[in-house]
């Protein structure tokens, strides 16, 4: 998995339409892995969590295998909307 830390990279991945993004948040009971095209994978949320808050509460991780995220990250589930 690759941690996404800047907006350009985030936008490139969204545009490519390929792969999955796991969003972690230590304050939530469940975290979700999404298709990059899911509307919950949103530049505004990314900016808030990663750029403004500097990843203090969580991060965005890119993978081409959703199972990798499900198997290696805590409390990770598939998004109900995009899977
Ligand atoms: Zn989703």
Question: Structural domain boundaries of the chain?
Answer: 2-78
The tokens for 59 are: 């991060």
What is d(CA 9, CA 73) in angstroms, rounded to the nearest whole number? 21
Q: How far is the CA of 41 from the centre of ligand 1 (A)?
A: 7
Distance 53 CA to ligand 1 centre (A): 22
Q: pLDDT of 36-61, one tens digit each?
A: 999 999 999 999 999 999 999 999 99
Looking at residue 24, the DSSP 8-state letter turns out to be -
Res. 12 pLDDT band, cuts 50 70 90: very high
pLDDT of residue 7: 97
* Strands lying side by side in the sheet with 76-78: 2-4, 60-63, 20-23, 31-35, 76-78
Interval between CA 25 and ligand 1 midpoint (Å) = 15
The answer to whether 61 and 3 have CB atoms below 8 angstroms apart is yes
């Amino acid at each position: 998995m690759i941690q996404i830390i800047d907006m350009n990279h985030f936008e490139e991945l969204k545009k490519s339409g390929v792969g999955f993004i796991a969003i972690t948040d230590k304050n939530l009971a469940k975290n979700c892995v999404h298709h990059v095209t899911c509307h919950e994978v949103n530049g505004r949320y990314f900016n808030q969590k990663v750029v403004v808050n500097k990843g203090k509460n969580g991060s965005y991780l890119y993978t081409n295998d959703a199972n990798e995220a499900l198997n290696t990250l805590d409390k990770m589930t598939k998004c109900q909307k995009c899977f």
